[in-house]
Amino acid sequence: MTREGTAASPTYRARHPVAYLTYPGADAAHGLGRLPGPLGWLPQHTLGHLPLPPTVTATLRSEDNPERPAGWVITLPLTVDDLRAGSARATRTILRAVSRAQALGARTVGLGGLTAQVTGNGAALRGVEDVGFTTGTSYTAALTFLLIQRVLAHCPVHTRIAVVGAGTGVGQSVATLLARHTAHPMLLVGRHEQQVRAVQASLGAGRAQITTELSRLNACGLVVLLSPAATGLCAAHLGPDATVLDATSPRVSWPQLLLDRPDVRIVDGPQACVPGIRHPGPGTTLPTCLAETLLLGLSGHEGHFTLGEPAPGQAQTMLNLAARFSRLGFVPAAPQSFGAPVNLNRRFEQDAPAPVERRAQTRRGTGTRPIFPMANTTP
């Protein structure tokens, strides 16, 4: 029998180690997932013909308890084509990797990149016993909200926020967090009016307007892109001095937009800055799925978490856990634009967050209520 934690009533116990499933090339920017030794130099297509087992390619340790592993990165000997095709070999390899994770002692497994897609966002693994699965999209929503908060500190007080892709799980979660913790007016944008209208109703009367037309973005100072619903975005859709936060994957904004509209700023989607987790890669950032998996392990969460679309309550739980383990990081990395540091309001930001008191004052000055205190779902 499986145990599945819910956003409303999660179960927490002593921390436990986790595992994160990836594949060659998926997390190259973070230095994770590369096969060891000469195997790391093999061309992608060769992997499909070698009977290689899933391999532990990194051990992760938390600075507040370095004696015991916080988790392991397990690299699957699969190609992107194997995973996109959802081949039987890909499914067998993922199940072998899960068995390897259980043998190591992991009780939560993060499905990174295309491993989530192959398993139907984890739904195909619900029947696996004694281990929980998560896809990381709840923390993606939470991290996006935190980055929006950071951007809003440089925007006028009553800036209107457009949430493009509000009908998706991540979009609804972001919109719900904005409705709970800010006073900014919102425009919910999506391809399917019924879905967006349902999200609007969940936020309360008068909290947001809805549209299916990108042309209405020109009345918004901050445009948050969360789904392919933003495909087709062009310079004419944006208002004067607008800021675009592109959290789509693959991204839908391009540098040409900056050439067409020099007054517009484009900010990349958020990265998780977690300096308190030791790993063999460069820098202090981690994939968002791995960060979510680590938070669940650190909190002792039992059972599955984000399977399928994330729920707003799960994103709120991730905010609470990120605050609980803030001594290790779990904050948005410094804003970037197409991979380069971006200048917000004529000053460069640093990875190190401002003290809680100063951030709260900044948000109050922009019409944004502090995130804390929140309804606490952790002991």
pLDDT digits 0-9 by tens, 345-362: 644 444 444 443 333 333
Q: Identify the pLDDT of residue 41.
A: 56
CA distance 184 to 227: 21
Token pair listed for 306: 């984000």
pLDDT at residue 12 is higher than 60? no
Distance in Å from the first CA to the final CA of the chain: 25
Average pLDDT estimate for 191-208: 94
Q: Are 132 and 302 in contact (CB under 8 A)?
A: yes
Average pLDDT estimate for 214-242: 93
Which range is least confidently modeled, 33-42, 193-202, 259-268? 33-42
pLDDT band at 344 (very low <50, low <70, confident <90, very high): confident
pLDDT at residue 276 is higher than 90? yes
List strand residue ranges (DSSP E) for 198-299, in order: 208-211, 222-225, 243-246, 265-268, 272-273, 277-278, 285-286
Task: Please write the tens of the pLDDT for every residue from 98-152.
Answer: 999 999 999 999 999 899 999 999 998 988 889 999 999 999 999 999 999 999 9
Q: Identify the pLDDT of residue 232.
A: 87
Q: Are strands 336-337 and 340-341 parallel, antiparallel or unpaired?
A: antiparallel
pLDDT at residue 244 is higher than 70? yes
Q: Identify the pLDDT of residue 72.
A: 97
What's the mean pLDDT when you consider all of the chain?
85
Instruction: Return the top range by mean pLDDT from 110-114, 171-175, 227-231, 277-281.
Output: 171-175
pLDDT at residue 377 is higher than 70? no
Token pair listed for 22: 């990836």
What domains lie within the chain, and their CATH numbers? Answer: 18-135+273-328 (no CATH), 145-270+335-349 (3.40.50.720)
Q: Identify the pLDDT of residue 359.
A: 37
CB atoms within 10 A of CB 365: 10
**Among residues of the chain, what percentage have pLDDT more than 90?**
66
For residue 36, cis peptide bond before it (omega within 30 degrees of 0):
no
Q: Identify the pLDDT of residue 367.
A: 44
State whether residue 203 is helix, strand or coil: helix
CA distance 339 to 99: 36
pLDDT at residue 9 is higher than 90? no
